């Protein structure tokens, strides 16, 4: 990984949009700071298309898509998306209604088995706002030993679930989406962007294991200084600052390249 300020200006000047993670990338321990929020608006004012890509629930996605300067919010690690249209807010779920209901029922049974085996594992406080997954708090309000997280994930996998681990949550789902496929789908289907064009002209910034698909897919990738885990392909660039300050640092470099 190279420092973000060493990125070629010509590469950054060609960036048309930024896809960004929320927890521990834009947010500081769950809070939106003034510096990172100002950077978001500065990017928007400069004409970049902004997409939030998060493991947070669809309920968050709806609120953020209505109130932030973003083209779309891709939530639940790619399974659900919200975007604004001339007709109002659009919610996108790749699974038909009947399929979604069947998956929710199956996933509830898997979650019951996991919780019976690990009674000290607790669901996140925003679990009620989710559509496609069940999430456990492993680092947001409580710290869960890595060995327990690994064992719970392995049990869920043995029962047929997919699992993802972020810096704060363990996700169980029956969907096969990830942040990259979810973002590319919304860019293609709602904004008419060719996939190759999107991969070349959109940058991604993140910090954790559930960002791995985006680090591998997009040409211009940035990790904030608090990057955790070992993704298959590391981001090309890294900020000197962590979390929201790192996001603001990357935003300044992107904006300077456009001048």
Q: What does the pLDDT look like over 118-130, one tens digit per residue? A: 999 999 999 999 9
d(CA 65, CA 72) in angstroms, rounded, equals 6
Q: What does the pLDDT look like over 63-75, one tens digit per residue? A: 999 999 999 999 9
Return the structure tokens found at 112.
């019951």
Residues 193, 86 share a domain: yes
Residues 66, 119 share a domain: no
Residues 182, 80 share a domain: yes
Residues 248, 124 share a domain: no
C-alpha angle 138/239/69, rounded to 5°?
75
d(CA 137, CA 146) in angstroms, rounded, equals 12
d(CA 24, CA 15) in angstroms, rounded, equals 23
Record the pTM. Answer: 0.93
Mean pLDDT of the chain: 95
Residues 195, 86 share a domain: yes
Q: Report the domain count for the chain.
A: 2
Residues 127, 86 share a domain: no
Range of the domain at 67: 2-92+177-258
What are all long-range contacts of 118-121, with beta carbons under 8 Å and residues at least 24 apart?
118/148, 118/151, 118/152, 118/155, 120/144, 120/148, 121/148, 121/152, 121/170
Q: Which of 116, 141, 173 is the last residue of a domain?
A: 173
Q: Mean of the pLDDT values across residues 54-59?
A: 96
């Amino acid at each position: 990984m190279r420092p973000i300020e060493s990125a070629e200006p010509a590469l950054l000047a060609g960036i048309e949009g930024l896809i960004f993670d929320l927890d521990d990338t834009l947010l500081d321990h769950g809070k939106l700071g003034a510096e990172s929020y100002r950077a978001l608006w500065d990017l928007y004012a400069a004409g970049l298309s902004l997409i939030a890509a998060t493991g947070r629930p669809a309920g968050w996605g709806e609120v953020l898509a209505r109130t932030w300067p973003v083209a779309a919010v891709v939530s639940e690690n790619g399974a659900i998306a919200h975007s604004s249209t001339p007709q109002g807010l659009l919610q996108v779920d790749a699974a038909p209604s009947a399929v979604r209901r069947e998956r929710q029922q199956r996933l509830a049974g898997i979650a019951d088995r996991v919780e019976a085996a690990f009674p000290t594992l607790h669901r996140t406080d925003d679990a009620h706002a989710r559509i496609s997954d069940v999430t456990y708090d492993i680092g947001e309000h409580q710290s869960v030993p890595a060995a327990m997280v690994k064992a719970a994930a392995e049990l869920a996998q043995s029962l047929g679930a997919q699992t993802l681990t972020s810096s704060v949550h363990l996700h169980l789902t029956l969907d096969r989406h990830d942040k990259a496929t979810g973002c590319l789908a919304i860019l293609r289907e709602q904004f008419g962007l060719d996939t190759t064009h999107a991969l070349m002209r959109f940058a991604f910034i993140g910090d954790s294991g559930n960002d791995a698909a985006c680090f591998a897919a997009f040409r211009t990738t940035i990790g904030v200084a608090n990057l955790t885990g070992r993704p298959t392909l590391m981001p090309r660039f890294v900020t000197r600052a962590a979390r929201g300050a790192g996001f603001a640092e990357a935003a300044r470099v992107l904006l300077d390249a456009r001048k």
